[in-house]
Amino acid sequence: MVQKNIVCEGLRCYVHSKSAFIDWCMEFSKESRGMLIQAMMEADSREGFFESSQMGSVVKMQILWDQEQKEHVFDAIIRKKLLRRQQEEVPQRLAAAMGPALNLDHEEVHVESILFLAYAVVRNEACRKTLMEYAKREGEKCYEAYKESKFRASAFPSWFLVDDRLPASMAVGLIERIRQEYKTQQCCALRENRLYKSLMKILEEGHRNLKNQLKKAEYIDGGMFQKIVKNSNDMVLAAAEMMVLLIMAEESEVPVHEDYDFYLGLQMLLTYEGDLEKSPELEDTDNRGRRLHRHLQKEHLQMESYYICYYLDGAVEKENELDLELVFAYFHLNLRMLTGIELEQKDVDFLCSLAEDMKWEDYKQILLTATLCKYIHRLQQLCEEHNPEERRYLQRRAEKDKDTMLIEIENLQSRTEYLEQKKKELEKHLEQSETEKVKLRTRLQSAEEKNALERDELISLRNYIFQCIQAEEKPKQEEAHSNDEYAELMKGEKMLIIGGHANWQKKMKQHLPHSQFLSSDNLHFDNSVLYCKKYLVFNTDMMKHGLYYKITGQRKKGQKILYVHGNNITKSLQELKRQIP
């Protein structure tokens, strides 16, 4: 399955290319399908592909056609039999297309997306124009991000002429800025990122055909990749447009169907990814090159300078020989311009090592090419040095380095002062430690005394409650009143009644309908219930300590605490009347 966020993290997917290859064989042509089924029938006795059952004279054969079985078919037939023993029977296109199945199956593939996207932008005129308009506003920031990236030192810039290198650096810098912001602001959705929106606008400006294809498609598959390759003369550009298609599909939430053609496109992306990032590795000059160099140098002393070689050989004109001076003059150049460009000995050794039996005429043509390449390289360096973006970047870097050095100097100067001040502070702190120790002991003693008082208060409160309980149990000669009469006497009082059994609270609500009630386990009550209450009544028969401490800690000034005990309504009303003056 293709992982999301291709712009920031590249293309990642886990490959099941063997089963996809078997599906591809079954759908590719009647020849490949028939060949595969015939091979499965022949190998059935050994591999046990089919389950057979007989009904009379009819034999029924069936197979469980899942991914695991397809991989089994590939390993047992394609890999072992067709490729090793009967390779001549495999169609040429089929044999050439087996790379992903043999090399990528059950691999987690990662393809870097940034260079493909930059290539797609630079090689598309509409994308490039939109990018350079954007660079008028954000060019300096994009160029700085490019210079700080790892791609500056890769082979990627060498794929472009001087005119194209600035747009390429802008494109790489824009994507690098998107990645930097995504890392620092992971909470933000990528689609809401301003820079990401700018990138999508640039891509859609030049690849409207891909966008229109996605509007009509329920999903994308390798068939779209094949269509891109068929319509392109530049295979790297085709690979880049594949990456653009995947990003647009992700943006439009169009799913990806990973068929075998998709894996062929994935293999193509992997191939060109290495070419974009790394230059081809050159072999060390061997002794053969040095020997040929010495051999040719016996007759031609100035092998490092093409103009001198041309001048000396030109003394004797050969019939029907091309006059290179006329070619140079046609393009308003002069062959003498190459006079100051000479190769080094290691360069000549390398040229001589390219062919074992190189003749002087062949060497001269190679020498001309090498001399012109060196001249072009000098021109590229000169253009980069005089590039306005490069100059501004170097100026900003110089200013940053200057500011950094000044800050370091200031830090070193202040460091000494800080250390001296720190020494004095430590000495002063040492003197204050004893005083602080005494203060802490005093605070500890005060805290212990305060805790002791609170414990005494709690003990007194509990004793008072127990005394009330005992007093209620003793027979008393009180004036007899009904519950309604007691309730009528307390009708105008504003009370908050906390705790007690639920049935007790329900009955009390009938006699005191204007009071508010809190259950004994309601620790997350709204503090507004304490407002405008004259009395806070606690039923100690069912009460959590946490609720008691929370209410007493938040009670308002002037609020009086009353206590009742038990579930007897009459006794509770009598006790409240007794405590209310």
Q: Pick from 185, 123, 179: which is nearest to 151 by CA?
A: 179
Rounded CA-CA distance 126/253 in Å is 25
Task: Please give the chain's pLDDT, 581 residues, in tens.
Answer: 566 789 988 999 898 888 888 888 888 888 878 888 888 888 777 777 777 777 767 767 777 778 888 888 888 777 776 556 554 555 555 555 677 887 888 889 999 999 999 999 999 999 999 999 998 888 888 888 888 888 888 888 888 887 888 899 999 999 999 998 888 875 456 767 889 999 999 999 999 999 999 988 899 998 899 999 998 888 999 999 999 999 999 988 899 998 888 999 998 999 888 888 776 665 555 566 777 777 777 777 778 887 777 776 654 455 556 777 788 888 888 787 887 788 888 888 888 888 777 888 888 888 888 888 888 888 877 877 777 777 776 777 788 888 889 899 989 888 889 999 998 888 888 888 888 888 898 889 888 877 876 776 677 577 667 666 666 555 444 444 566 666 666 766 778 889 888 889 888 888 888 888 888 888 888 888 888 888 888 888 888 888 888 888 787 777 888 888 888 888 888 888 777 77
Collapsing DSSP to helix, strand or coil, 355 comes out as coil
Count of other CB atoms within 10 angstroms of residue 504: 21
pLDDT, position 477: 44
Q: What is the pLDDT of residue 90?
A: 53
| Beta-bridge partners for 109 | 13
In this prediction, residue 467 carries a pLDDT of 60
The Cα–Cα gap between 569 and 510 comes to 11
Q: Which two tokens stand for residue 424?
A: 């004095």
Q: How many CB atoms lie within 10 A of CB 400?
A: 10
Q: What confidence tens digit (pLDDT) does each residue in 486-522 have?
A: 666 676 677 888 988 888 988 888 888 888 888 888 8
Q: Which residues contact 194 (CB under 8 A, 6 or more apart)?
A: none
Which residues on neighbouring strands pair with residue 55, listed in sequence order?
A: 58
Residue in 118, 110, 109, 142 with CA at minimum distance from that of residue 244: 118
Can you give the pLDDT at residue 279?
67
CATH 3.40.50 in the chain is located at 481-577
Query: Measured at the alpha carbon of residue 574, what is the angle toward residues 559 and 535, in degrees to the nearest 5?
Result: 10
Domain at 481-577: CATH architecture: 3-Layer(aba) Sandwich (3.40)
555 with 578: CB under 8 angstroms?
no
Environment class of 557 (CB within 10 Å of its CB; exposed 0-12, middle 13-18, buried 19+):
exposed
Query: What pLDDT, on a 0 to 100 scale, did the predictor assign at position 485?
Result: 67
pLDDT digits (tens, 9 = 90+) for 229-243: 998 888 999 999 999
